Copies of this chain bind each other. A is one copy, B any other.
């Protein structure tokens, strides 16, 4: 498992929990919808600023988002 794939899974989960569509998240985060789609599918790797932006839109701390990613990455080892 790659970090970007796990990040995509976590992002999708958090987005669903916030009851947002990709389009809705794209709108409030001011990121492109196709980019959100690629992030969720692990086709793109976000920069630190993108991580912070998405986190605030999902009402979660960046460190908590990363923590979930790191826990999931560790579980694959």
- Rounded to whole angstroms, the CA-CA distance of A64 and B62 in the bound complex is 10
Task: Check if A4 is an interface residue, CB within 8 A of chain B.
Answer: yes
Contact present for A3 and B48 (CB under 8 Å): yes
Interface residue tally for chain A (C-beta within 8 Å): 19
Interface status of A41 (Cβ within 8 A of chain B):
no
- In the complex, A32→B7 CA distance in Å? 25
The residues of B that contact A69 with a CB separation of less than 8 Å are: 48, 62
Quote the shortest CB–CB distance from A1 to chain B (angstroms): 12
Give complex CA distance A52, B69 in Å.
10
* A→B interface (CB under 8 Å): 3-4, 7, 45-49, 51-52, 61-64, 66-67, 69-70, 73
